[in-house]
Copies of this chain bind each other. A is one copy, B any other.
Amino acid sequence: MAPTMKDVAREAGVSLGTVSKVINGIAVGESYRHRVEEAIGKLGYHVNSYARGLKTNKTYCVALLMPSLRHPFFALLTDELTKCLQRRGYHSTLMITNYDREVERQCFVLVRENKADGVIALTYSPDLTVDAGIPVVSIDRHMGPGVPCISSDNYHGGELAAEKLLELGCRNLLFLRIGPDVAGEADKRRLGFEDTCRRRGAAYETVILRDEDTEEPFFRFLRRHIREGKLAFDGIFCNTDSLAVRIRDFLAEQGIHAPEDVQLIGYDGMADYATGRYGCSTIVQPIAEMAEAAVNVLLDPDRKGGNVCLPVRYAYGGTTRE
């Protein structure tokens, strides 16, 4: 039988009212909160579904936690999330973390203080934990069993990129990734790419940089693999469009041009605002559908929603032969 709030109270050695307060985000002493949360974890009590049902005073406000709006992917996602929430009569409280954990913490305080009903979070903090009773939907990162994760089909995106490069005649593949040191959905891009290379018997290498501000190590790696004006790789998959464009520009400076000498595929599907053109050939994420799914799962009163994985597609953007 599923554990009840009473079981949690007994396990934690606190009153039922204290459990209720913790679940509803009402302030209680830190040690009480800790004991209740431990009991919830131990018993496998399904807080989220109950918490949502118990919440009576809705704010009709959802907090959006974004690293920045300088990257067009985050800006477009925020645009779609906000429009989607507005269609449901909700407001969004935007919080820009700039990779500052204190801002992330404050975001959850908002919900605890009953200033927002829930959070849609895109975060890269490795140790961010979500308090029980706070409805959260995560984008592109698994934050624990109680937090549904919305993502594009990163694994299939990696497969698609490898398939496409092989189909276009590439024989020596390379995967490049730069990103925060957090296990996330985006890791699957590499897995899909590598699995496909292995299945097809294709040669490949992988270079991963953790949380660095510069691609210099990639440039050094590539320089070492240029012999007599020829690059040892003829197909490169980068984990973002931004990286693919910078790698393309670096190689062009070395006299190695895409798509003639090397073919490049990025990930995200960022089109230039003015021209509508992709900056590079790319795996396109369905941003509007991801936003819609995140809002649907968050606002579903039963919180039945588990992880949602949405289909991606390949798009030509000038750095491949087609």
Contacts and interface: CB of A to CB of B under 8 A. Distances in A.
A82 interface: yes
Nearest to A240: B274
B273 A70 contact: yes
Main secondary structure of the interface of A (DSSP, over half): mixed
Contacts of A75: 69-70, 72, 75, 78-79
A272 B100 CA distance: 24
B72 A273 contact: yes
A83 B98 CA distance: 8
Contact of A50 (B76, B79, B109, B275): B109
Interface string A61-97: 1001000111110011011001100100001111110
A71 B102 contact: no
Interface of A: 44, 46, 50, 61, 64, 68-72, 75-76, 78-79, 82-83, 86, 91-96, 98, 100, 102-103, 106, 109-110, 113, 115, 241-243, 245-246, 249, 270, 272-275, 279
B94 A78 contact: yes
Given A50-B109, A273-B72, A92 B91 contact: no
Contact of A94 (B50, B82, B110): B82
B79 A68 contact: yes
A46 B105 CA distance: 11
A69 B71 contact: no
Copy count, this protein chain: 2
Chain B CB count within 10 A is highest, among A100, A103, A245, A274, for A274
A69 B76 contact: yes
Contact of A95 (B68, B86, B110, B115): B86
A91 B110 contact: yes
Given A92-B93, A92-B94, A95-B91, A242 B79 contact: no
A102 B46 contact: yes
Contacts of A94: 64, 78, 82, 91-94
A98 B85 CA distance: 13
Contacts of A92: 93-94
A24 to B, nearest CB: 16
A82 B93 CA distance: 10
